[in-house]
Amino acid sequence: MEKNIGIFYGSSTGSTEKVAELLCNAFGQERCMVINVEDASKADLNKFAYLVLGTPTWEIGEMQEDWLDFIAELKKADLKKKKIAIFGLGDQEASADSFADGAGRLYEAVAEKATVVGAWPTEGYDFAKSMAIKDGKFVGLIIDEDNQKEKTPERVNAWVKMLKKEFK
């Protein structure tokens, strides 16, 4: 089977990398490739019809640092025909006022250029503010490995089930 799903992630302490791998396992290894944005180029974006983009939030409300560099490439890429899904990691207790803001910033960077799919309900999380909410839902899958690690597998599987209807 053609690998038409590219899972691009940035990760400083490994949690987003772990979730990227879990997502690829759930899609099926034969369908996807996991790529660290630290090593990625614009050409890598062109290889896939479907992009899954993941960032944790760092420095109070920012994308992970490797994304800050790669976002320029993403903005230059032709994303018109792509379907994109976003995932984000954050800490809803320690960062209740900027929970998963990085995912919201990533969404803003691509929303006008591509079709973004995979909005995710906010139920089951406890926080005050998040830039990752659009029309009452998260812009994509939000994972909290700091406080709700036990929920990660079921969240990943439910989201991938949803995305499989979009990613043919």
For ligand FMN, the binding residues (CB under 6 A) are: 11-16, 56-61, 64, 89-91, 95, 98-101, 145-146
Phi, psi of 77 (to 5 degrees): -70, 155
Dist. CA 71–CA 73, nearest whole Å: 5
Phi, psi of 67 (to 5 degrees): -65, -35
Residue closer to ligand FMN (CB basis): 1 or 60:
60
Residue closer to ligand FMN (CB basis): 6 or 82:
6
Phi, psi of 70 (to 5 degrees): -75, -20
Q: In whole angstroms, how close is the CB of 152 to ligand FMN at the nearest point?
A: 10
Q: In whole angstroms, how close is the CB of 80 to ligand FMN at the nearest point?
A: 29
Find the residue with minimal CB distance to ligand FMN: 90
Which ranges of 31-151 does DSSP label H, i.e. alpha helix?
A: 42-46, 65-76, 101-110
Q: In whole angstroms, how close is the CB of 30 to ligand FMN at the nearest point?
A: 25
